[in-house]
Amino acid sequence: MSQVKENDTVKVHYTGKLINGQIFDSSLEREPLEVNLGQGMLIPGFEKAIIDMKVNEKKTVNIVKEEAYGDVKEELFHEVKKEQLPQDMTPEVGMGLASENPDGTENQFRIAAVNEDHIIVDGNHPLAGQDLTFDLELIEII
């Protein structure tokens, strides 16, 4: 039986959990994730965990934050004056925001704090700074 190698395209079911067991994402109720390895589309620890798996193999892996979304970076927190927000918006902690760059790409932010005249937005990935656990099942090597 063949094993997953670098640059293979695979289908994998996964359930991602925080260290406390809380599930943050799962493919079990939808199609398995199909991805071409080696393209930078997955966090490094997830991709490394798939390498050498066989079809129908299941395993659970713990991925340290450095192999997941990294540390929380303070430089990705920014102050935004409330007057720069849409007038009909009532900012709340945890709310998602997007800003468009001159080249048309978007940056995603979450509101980390709301003050009287400004908000603090956080550009870190929501799972930055956390170790993660994934239950994996290799469905297919394409």
Fold of the CATH domain 9-70+127-141: Chitinase A; domain 3 (3.10.50)
Contact present, 94 and 126 (Cβ < 8 Å): no
This prediction has a pTM of 0.86
- Looking at the chain, the domain(s) classified CATH 2.40.10.330 span 74-122
| Structure token pair of residue 63 | 């991925």
Residues 6+ apart with CB under 8 A from 120: 77, 78, 79, 80, 111, 112, 113
Report how far Cα 137 is from the mean position of its chain's Cα atoms: 19
Identify the pLDDT of residue 14: 98
- Looking at the chain, the domain(s) classified CATH 3.10.50.40 span 9-70+127-141
**CATH assignment of 74-122?**
2.40.10.330
Instruction: List per-residue pLDDT tens for the chain, 142 residues long.
Output: 699 999 999 999 999 999 999 999 999 999 999 999 999 999 999 999 999 999 999 999 999 999 999 999 999 999 999 999 988 999 999 999 998 889 999 989 999 999 999 999 999 999 999 999 999 999 999 9
